């Protein structure tokens, strides 16, 4: 037993008064003193000034130069959180949380605040509970992901997830649980969603665990995330679309708490509700998020394979935005696997519509897209659609005036006859293949294509033939005329290979590019000659 002077609040104050020269042994002595059975009653009295005292110690300098003292403060905070029943303790810990200037201090305080919060349930404490949620959110907003160690971010999130778990476990007020919902969902957004590190398997596993626990906590506070989106309750803060999109991804793609989602929603309704969320992921231009958007869309489309959507759905702004963002990903994303995933997803999405819808999407896309490869692919989709629906009752959007308009959109040369055809080779070849298919397939003029063959020949095929000749002459002349690498101004010669601009860095590469363009012209001329032969037979 300690001497009597140490069995009092004043004794604790005496030890802690000179915090600038405090030692680990002093803090351990305080802790031993407070743990004495007869002194436990004074903990609430001590906590009033001890938390302020601890706040002075938990500084960057002590973390760097006096870690023993820093760590001892954690033990004291944990003890105060366990033993103190004072309402003031909760307020002081919340203030300490707000003033935390480093992750370690934030985590230590959060670990003490959780148990303290669970001791007080009456309405007067709702404000500081809500304040603690807001402090956590604002702290996370300041995290600089590019310059932060992913492991430190995950460790921070582990503490936050544990805090919310403790709070949920100890909360008896349903209104408080409802107030947690937007803050819990926002945890799935920035910065956590940008933290996943595919190069580290262990970190990737930890990232997944944090995400799964967060989603599980969300479902402990609500059982219908779709209902939350449809009719969000009045709240001062609402989670952003990036965070909600991750909630949908982890539920529908990873299957976390999927069994808890109400079964009353149709797959189509779920997809329609998710389109704006997938657009938010695609707009981020972050490969990890873009990949999640594509996976989520592909997953939600699976149960809709046998269902055709009305073209009226295209009137929704989010639908057009989704198509545009997928097209942008296909053309500009640097990762080949993501480009392929996006192309597959876009194809599935387009073919989900009725024939009218498919036609409208393809025709509009031809008008707004500039990439030759993508335009060529869309033209081929239209040709395949005609083939699948061929018959006397073929849709009006695959014949007559609509077919004429589609051909006008895809059968046009960019610039004059002297322009570089290599840039648009894929579109040109696909357009010629469409014409050739119609000439071979439509012997009875079901599509009425024979009505405008003369116009098509004069406006497209003849200018194309002339352009091939001019382009070939120019390319052959360039091949015969070597250019000195040292005297060639940078950027003077721009070539197109497979629809992509390249700037040769050597004479060898320049010749290879020119010969590749020449080979592309040979392919165009070969397909054109077959079309011309069929026209002559008509």
Q: Could you report the per-residue pLDDT of 351-366, keeping only the tens digit for each?
A: 999 999 999 999 999 9
Indicate whether 280 belongs to any domain. no
Q: Is residue 128 part of a domain?
A: yes
Structural domain contains residue 220: no
Q: Nearest CA to 427 among 409, 439, 440?
A: 409
Q: Nearest 5°: phi and psi at 502?
A: -130, 145
- Band of pLDDT at residue 171, cut at 50, 70 and 90: confident
Answer with the one of 142, 174, 201 that is the final residue of a domain.
142
DSSP 442-469: -TT-SS-GGGGHHHHIIIIIHHHHHHHH
Is 485 domain-assigned? no
SS3 for 359-390 is: HHHHHHHHHHCCCHHHHHHHHHHHHHHHHHCC
Query: What is the tally of structural domains in the chain?
Result: 2
Res 39: pLDDT: 58
Nearest alpha carbon to residue 34 among 43, 22, 26: 43
- The reported pLDDT for the residue numbered 474 is 85
Is 34 a member of any domain? yes
Pick the last residue of a domain from 90, 114, 142: 142
**Cβ count near 266 (within 10 Å):** 12
Q: Which residues contact 472 (CB under 8 A, 6 or more apart)?
A: 518, 521
Structural contact between residues 473 and 446, judged by C-beta atoms closer than 8 angstroms? no
Q: Report residue 353: phi and psi, to 5°.
A: -90, 165
Distance CA 81, CA 140 (A): 24
Task: Determine the 3-state secondary structure of 125 from DSSP.
Answer: helix
Q: 199 φ, ψ to 5°?
A: -75, -15
Which helix (H) or strand (E) segment is 208 a member of?
Answer: helix 201-221
Taking the C-alpha atoms of residue 34 and residue 47, their distance in angstroms, rounded to an integer, is 11
Q: What is the pTM of this model?
A: 0.84
pLDDT over 70 percentage in the chain: 80
Provide mean pLDDT across the span 15-33.
61
Question: Helix/strand/coil (H, E, C) string of 394-438?
Answer: CCHHHCHHHHHHHHHHHCCCCCCCCCCHHHHHHHHHHHHHHHHHH
Of the candidate ranges 183-187, 415-419, 500-504, the one whose mean pLDDT is the lowest? 500-504
The better pLDDT of the pair 53, 213 is held by 213
Q: Which residue has the tokens 């198509």?
A: 323
- In a domain, residue 19? The reply is yes
| CB neighbour burial string for 171-195, b if at least 16 within 10 angstroms, e if fewer | beeeebbebbbbbbbbbbbbbbbbb
**Which residues neighbour 464 within 8 Å (Cβ) at sequence distance 6 or greater?**
413, 421, 428, 524, 528
Residues 426-482 have pLDDT tens digits of 999 999 999 999 999 999 999 999 999 999 999 999 999 999 988 888 888 888 887
Which residue, of 103, 120, 142, is where some domain finishes?
142
- Residue 237 structure tokens: 């803060």
For the cut 60, the answer to whether the pLDDT of residue 245 exceeds it is yes
**What's the alpha-carbon Rg for the chain, to the nearest Å?**
34
In this structure, what token pair is assigned to residue 486? 């040292």
**Under 8 Å between Cβ of 471 and 420:** yes
- The pLDDT tens digits for 283-309 are 998 999 999 999 999 999 999 988 999
Predicted pLDDT at 532: 93
Comparison of pLDDT for 209 and 233, the residue scoring more: 209
Q: For residue 453, tell me if it sits in a domain.
A: yes
68: tokens are 């023993």
CA–CA distances in Å: residue 141 to residues 98, 144, 153, 189, 482: 13, 8, 12, 10, 57
Tokens of 312: 């009226």
pLDDT in tens, 114-163: 888 777 666 556 677 788 999 999 999 998 887 788 888 999 999 999 99
Residue 238's φ and ψ, nearest 5 degrees, are -120, 140
Residue 18 pLDDT level (bands cut at 50, 70, 90): low
Confidence at 493, pLDDT banded by 50, 70, 90: very low
Residues paired with 501 in a beta bridge: 496
| Domain carrying residue 26 | 1-142
Q: Is residue 321 part of a domain?
A: no
pLDDT beyond 70 at 235? no
- N- to C-terminal Cα separation, the chain: 113
């Amino acid at each position: 037993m300690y001497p009597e002077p140490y069995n009092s609040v004043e004794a604790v104050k005496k030890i802690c008064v000179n915090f600038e020269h405090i030692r680990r042994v002093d803090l351990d002595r305080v802790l031993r003193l407070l743990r004495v059975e007869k002194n436990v009653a004074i903990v609430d009295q001590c906590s009033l000034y001890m938390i302020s005292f601890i706040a002075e110690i938990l500084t960057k300098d002590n973390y760097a130069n006096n870690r023993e003292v820093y760590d001892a403060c954690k033990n004291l905070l944990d003890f105060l959180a366990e033993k103190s029943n004072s309402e003031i303790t909760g307020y002081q810990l919340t203030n300490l949380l707000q003033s935390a200037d480093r992750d370690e201090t934030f985590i230590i305080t959060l670990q003490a605040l959780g148990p303290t919060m669970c001791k007080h349930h009456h309405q007067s404490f709702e404000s500081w509970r809500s304040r603690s949620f807001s402090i956590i959110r604002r702290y996370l907003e300041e995290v600089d992901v590019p310059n932060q160690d992913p492991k430190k971010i995950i460790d921070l999130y582990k503490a936050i997830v544990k805090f919310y778990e403790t709070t949920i476990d100890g909360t008896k007020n349903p209104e408080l649980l409802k107030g947690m919902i937007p803050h819990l969902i926002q945890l799935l957004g920035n910065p956590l969603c940008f933290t996943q590190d595919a190069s580290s398997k262990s970190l990737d596993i930890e990232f997944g665990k944090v995400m799964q626990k967060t989603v599980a906590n969300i479902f402990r506070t609500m059982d219908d995330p779709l209902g939350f989106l449809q009719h969000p309750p009045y709240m001062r803060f609402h989670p952003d679309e990036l965070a909600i999109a991750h909630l949908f991804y982890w539920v529908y793609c990873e299957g976390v708490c999927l069994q808890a989602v109400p079964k009353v929603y149709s797959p189509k309704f779920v997809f329609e509700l998710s389109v704006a969320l997938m657009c938010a992921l695609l707009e981020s231009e972050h490969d990890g998020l873009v990949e999640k958007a594509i996976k989520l869309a592909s997953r939600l489309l699976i149960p809709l394979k046998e269902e055709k959507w009305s073209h009226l759905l295209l009137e929704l702004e989010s639908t057009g935005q989704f198509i545009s963002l997928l097209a942008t990903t296909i053309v500009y994303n640097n990762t080949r696997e993501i480009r392929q995933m996006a192309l597959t997803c876009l194809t599935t999405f387009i073919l989900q519509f009725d024939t009218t819808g498919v036609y409208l999407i393809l025709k509009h896309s031809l008008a707004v897209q500039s990439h030759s490869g993508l335009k060529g692919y869309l033209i081929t989709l239209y040709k395949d659609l005609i083939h699948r629906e061929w018959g006397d009752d073929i849709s009006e959007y695959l014949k007559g005036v609509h077919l004429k308009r589609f051909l006008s959109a895809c059968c046009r040369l960019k610039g004059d006859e002297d322009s570089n055809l290599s840039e648009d080779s894929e579109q040109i070849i696909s357009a010629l293949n469409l014409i050739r298919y119609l000439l071979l397939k439509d012997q009875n003029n079901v599509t009425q294509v024979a009505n405008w063959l003369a116009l098509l020949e004069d406006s497209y095929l003849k200018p194309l033939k002339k352009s091939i000749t001019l382009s070939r002459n120019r390319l052959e002349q360039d091949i015969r005329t070597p250019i000195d690498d040292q005297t060639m101004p940078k950027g003077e010669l721009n070539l197109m290979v497979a629809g992509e601009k390249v700037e040769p860095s050597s004479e060898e590469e320049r010749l290879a590019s020119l010969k590749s363009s020449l080979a592309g012209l040979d392919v165009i001329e070969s397909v054109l000659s077959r079309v011309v032969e069929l026209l002559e037979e008509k």
